[in-house]
Structure 1
């Protein structure tokens, strides 16, 4: 499989996925896909991805700019290791992020979530996590 097992990745500027290194994932509002970053560079775009050992990150300075300008920019990412495993089990909870309601990722019961064992993300914004 090309791209080190990251099936469906559309490479960006000829960059390749390096297995074993962390990635950062965020929704790309320009192309409707997920952007995948590694070592600070976008390596490609994909429809869905599953990550392990996940941390959710918000750049609070950029978040404040979103609130002030009412214009979205890249300031919220999920980072972790790419997994070939599928969607988390039925014990998983849906995860949301809306910069206009809270400066953090939250679960369906509105509790904050900063980490997850496993996260599945789709380009339509659907996220589900196992804690």
Structure 2
């Protein structure tokens, strides 16, 4: 489910940027062009997703040991899902132990995927 901010909309195919919001315990959704938060939600499905980590932000987190937003999934909004299917692989990013997003089972770095699903503060990818 997605909760949009007042007077904000989201369309299928719209390019968005998503990150984990630790204060709200869900994902924040930004318009990729304006970088303004347009809403919050779970079960977000993205197509043509790219996984981005800002190096300066990562360095700051490692130095100060304080969390800050510096890792995103950027892609085209494709709708809402409620369950993870078997075709998706769990991926994660940990600023203290990984340089980029990685596939949990293989520990291989992943930069992009055809489809990405974000739910329950976790990220899943499918190629």
Q: Same fold (TM over 0.5)?
A: yes
Q: 2:93 aligns with which of 83, 86, 97?
A: 97
Instruction: Please tell me whether residue 43 in structure 1 is matched to residue 38 in structure 2.
Output: yes
Counterpart contact for 1:88–1:129, Cα < 8 Å: no
Measured in 2, the distance between the counterparts of 1:17 and 1:83 equals: 10
Q: 2:118 aligns with which of 105, 118, 121?
A: 121
State the Cα distance separating 1:41 from its structure 2 match: 0.6
1:64-90 CA distance string (max 9 Å, x none): 000001111110000111113746653
Measured at CA, do residues 67 and 48 of structure 1 come closer, stay the same or move farther in structure 2, by a change above 3 Å?
A: same
Matches within 5 A, 1:38-77: 38=31, 39=33, 40-77=35-72
Measured in 2, the distance between the counterparts of 1:13 and 1:43 equals: 8
Partner of 1:22: 15
Counterpart contact for 2:11–2:77, Cα < 8 Å: no
Structure 2 runs not aligned, ≥5 long = none
Question: Structure 1 or 2: larger strand share?
Answer: 2
> Structure 2 length as normaliser, TM-score?
0.87
State the Cα distance separating 1:13 from its structure 2 match: 4.7
SS of corresponding position for 1:23:
strand
1:17-40 CA distance string (max 9 Å, x none): 244320001110111111000021
Measured in 2, the distance between the counterparts of 1:128 and 1:79 equals: 13
The root-mean-square deviation of aligned C-alpha atoms, in Å, is: 1.7
Structure 1 runs not aligned, ≥5 long = 1-7
